[in-house]
Amino acid sequence: LKGCVIMKNYHTEFKFNLFVLGPMHIGSGKKYTKKEYIYENEKYYFPDMGELYLKIRNNEKLSKEFIEFMSEKNTGYRTTSLKEFLSKNNITDRDFGGYSIAESGYEFEKKQGSRNWNNARNDSLRNLNEIVAFVKDEFGNPYIPGSSLKGAIRTILVNEEFKTDDVPWKDGNNIFNEIRVSDSKPISVDNLTLVQKWDYNAKKNCSNSLPIWRESLKPLTRVEFTITTSSERARKLIENLSHYAKIFYQRYKNKFLSAYPDSIIQKNIGCPIYLGAGSGLWTKVDYHHVRIDKIQEKSYKKMKMKGNGVLKLTRYKKVKIKTKDGKYIPLAKDVFYEMGKCGFSIKEVDVG
């Protein structure tokens, strides 16, 4: 039509499928203490504490005891776990809402001097630290925020396309505003497991467990996202994301992973990407500008890093994946997995 300007639609939609290869944790900021979960029958039960209180509040004595038990100032209250509190008050009910996570068998580390596995389990339970919670939606379902995936994508593009962390922010011309990443679809709590933090030191060629436990997605979990671009330049970046991800992984391998034995490095399935807490510094930095010397000089013990740091691992039972030719191959060569390691595939969607 004369006088009309036809605007080209640059909005493009991509389907992003994430495949969890090593236990992966996205934290909610919440931590569960022994006062907020129950371990029994090879499961961890995380009740809705508000619902629990509603069921006992009509009992004045019990209600008062519960408040004292939950108080951080209850130095004189000897009961230290929720299970002990319920048992002491003859409460056998477990119908308090919430959810359960089945143990994998690797939440516990056998202690020296323990006669059998059950004793080792009990010893470790007494020493179990807080459990860091996975992020969940308003219905209690785990999910991965789009911001977490977008951050991982940004790291890949900054390293392999822009070569600097300054370009996307220059003069307010932020290309990442033209890339929108949805939150993932809700994930069933059945896909959660508990894993302990392990560090592997390349120089000493040994692993060391730390008293940190995290709710994490199990290996083999599949998660779906939608990525939408609003410009042609953004579309091209996402269209070539698989290529950039493979180059970035090779950079990571050359700089860091090559120092470690092949027996603890997982093979890539799909295009490699690392997400969440515990995946390590080198999966998250701008390699062109990171000042490793400054990190090594940090005076705070929690921040200081020797050399290139340690490989972040966790333990989980052996699992296998079925290949296209019908064979089953293990995701890891041992019970050690790379924390946060995933694979992905991406495909442009025809939205008509």
pLDDT of 297-352, one tens digit each? 654 455 556 778 899 999 999 999 988 888 899 999 889 999 999 999 999 998 76
CB atoms within 10 A of CB 123: 16
Write out pLDDT tens, residues 126-144: 456 789 999 999 999 999 9
Provide the pLDDT confidence category of residue 48 given band limits of 50, 70 and 90.
very high
Tokens for 7? 């605007």
Burial of 112 (C-beta count, 10 Å sphere; 0-12/13-18/19+):
exposed
pLDDT at 30: 96
Write out pLDDT tens, residues 105-130: 887 655 434 444 444 445 445 456 78
Residues 244, 162: Cα–Cα separation, whole Å? 11
pLDDT at 150: 97
Write out pLDDT tens, residues 308-322: 889 999 999 999 998
Q: What is the pTM of this model?
A: 0.88
172: left (phi over 0), alpha (psi -120 to 50) or beta: left
Provide the pLDDT confidence category of residue 80 given band limits of 50, 70 and 90.
confident
Supply φ then ψ for residue 329, to 5 degrees. Answer: -125, 145
Q: Looking at this protein, which amino acid is placed at residue 202? A: A
pLDDT at 120: 46
Write out pLDDT tens, residues 225-283: 999 999 999 999 999 999 999 999 999 999 999 999 998 999 999 999 999 999 999 99
Task: Please give the torsion angle defined by the CA atoms of residues 298, 303, 308 and 309, in that order, rounded to the nearest 10 degrees.
Answer: 140
Nearest to 39 by CA among 136, 141, 118: 118
pLDDT at 327: 87
pLDDT at 290: 78
Looking at per-residue confidence, does 70 or 186 come out higher? 186
Nearest to 330 by CA among 256, 265, 249: 265
State the chain's mean pLDDT as an integer.
86
Nearest to 241 by CA among 349, 345, 351, 168: 345
Cα 166 to the center of its chain, rounded Å:
28
Residues 10, 230: Cα–Cα separation, whole Å? 5
